[in-house]
Amino acid sequence: MKIKILYFARLKETLKFSTEDLELPDDAFASSLTILKLKAYLAKRNETWQQMLMGKLKVRGAINHELVDDNAPIADGDEVAFFPPVTGG
Amino acid sequence: MKIKILYFARLKETLKFSTEDLELPDDAFASSLTILKLKAYLAKRNETWQQMLMGKLKVRGAINHELVDDNAPIADGDEVAFFPPVTGG
Amino acid sequence: MAIRVQTQDFDAGLEIKLLRNARKDTGAVVSFIGQVRDLNEGDKVSQLTLEHYPGMTEKALEAIVTKAQSRWDIFDATVIHRVGTLQPTDQIVLVAVSSAHRGEAFKACEFIMDYLKTEAPFWKKEVTDSGERWIDAKHTDDNARERWLE
Amino acid sequence: MAIRVQTQDFDAGLEIKLLRNARKDTGAVVSFIGQVRDLNEGDKVSQLTLEHYPGMTEKALEAIVTKAQSRWDIFDATVIHRVGTLQPTDQIVLVAVSSAHRGEAFKACEFIMDYLKTEAPFWKKEVTDSGERWIDAKHTDDNARERWLE
Q: For D98-115, what is each residue's pLDDT tens digit?
A: 999 999 999 999 999 999
Residue of A nearest to D141 (CA): A87
Q: How far is CA C122 from CA B84, C83, C144, in A?
A: 10, 8, 18
* pLDDT for residue C103: 97
- State the virtual CA torsion across C112, C115, C119, C121 in degrees, nearest 10: 40
Sequence-distant (6+) residues with CB within 8 A of A66 are D56, D59
Read off the pLDDT of residues C101-149 as tens digits, 9 standing for 90 and up: 999 999 999 999 999 999 999 999 999 999 999 999 999 999 999 999 9
Inter-residue contact C102 to D32 (CB < 8 Å) = yes
Average pLDDT over residues C29-38: 98
**Chains A and B contact (Cβ–Cβ under 8 Å for 3 or more pairs):** no
Measure the CA angle with vertex A35, ends A30 and A39; round to 5°: 90
Read off the pLDDT of residues C83-94 as tens digits, 9 standing for 90 and up: 999 999 999 999
CB nearest C35 (choices: D27, D106, D113): D27
Chain B partners (3+ C-beta pairs within 8 A):
C
* pLDDT for residue B66: 96
D136 Cα to chain A: minimum distance (Å): 7
CB nearest D117 (choices: A58, A62, A88): A88
Read off the pLDDT of residues A8-63 as tens digits, 9 standing for 90 and up: 999 999 999 999 999 999 999 999 999 999 999 999 999 999 999 999 999 999 99
Mean pLDDT over each residue of chain D, to the nearest integer = 97
ipTM confidence: 0.94
- Please judge whether D121 and A83 are an interchain contact, meaning their C-beta atoms are less than 8 angstroms apart: yes
Where are the alpha helices (H) located in chain B, listed in sequence order?
9-15, 28-31, 35-43, 47-54
Domains annotated for chain C, with CATH where assigned, are 2-149 (3.90.1170.40)
Portion of chain D with pLDDT greater than 70, in percent: 100
Report whether pLDDT(C150) > 90.
no
Residue of D nearest to C89 (CA): D24
Which candidate in D11, D31, D90, D112 is best for mutational testing of the C interface (most C CBs within 10 A)?
D31
Report whether pLDDT(A2) > 90.
yes
* CATH number of the B2-83 domain: 3.10.20.30
- Please judge whether D109 and C106 are an interchain contact, meaning their C-beta atoms are less than 8 angstroms apart: yes
* Ranges of residues in chain D whose predicted pLDDT is under 50: none
Could you list the beta-strand ranges (E) of chain D: 2-6, 28-35, 39-40, 43-52, 74-82, 84-86, 91-99, 122-128, 131-134
Which candidate in C31, C35, C56 is best for mutational testing of the B interface (most B CBs within 10 A)?
C56
- Please judge whether A65 and D116 are an interchain contact, meaning their C-beta atoms are less than 8 angstroms apart: no
- Please judge whether A9 and D135 are an interchain contact, meaning their C-beta atoms are less than 8 angstroms apart: no
Distance CA(C78)–CA(C18), nearest Å, equals 10
Chain D partners (3+ C-beta pairs within 8 A):
A, C
Distance CA(B29)–CA(D114), nearest Å, equals 59
* pLDDT for residue C105: 98
Domain ranges of chain B: 2-83
Question: Confidence band (pLDDT; 50, 70, 90) for B39?
Answer: very high
Measure the CA angle with vertex B61, ends C122 and C126; round to 5°: 30
* pLDDT for residue D117: 97
* pLDDT for residue B35: 98
- Please judge whether B88 and C113 are an interchain contact, meaning their C-beta atoms are less than 8 angstroms apart: no
* pLDDT for residue C83: 98
CB nearest C37 (choices: D32, D91, D100): D100
Sequence-distant (6+) residues with CB within 8 A of C27 are C99, C100, C101, C102, D34, D35, D37
* pLDDT for residue D41: 86
A6 Cα to chain D: minimum distance (Å): 9
* pLDDT for residue D150: 72
Read off the pLDDT of residues B40-71 as tens digits, 9 standing for 90 and up: 999 999 999 999 999 999 999 999 999 999 99
* pLDDT for residue A12: 97
Rounded to a whole number of angstroms, the distance between the first and last alpha carbons of chain D is 26
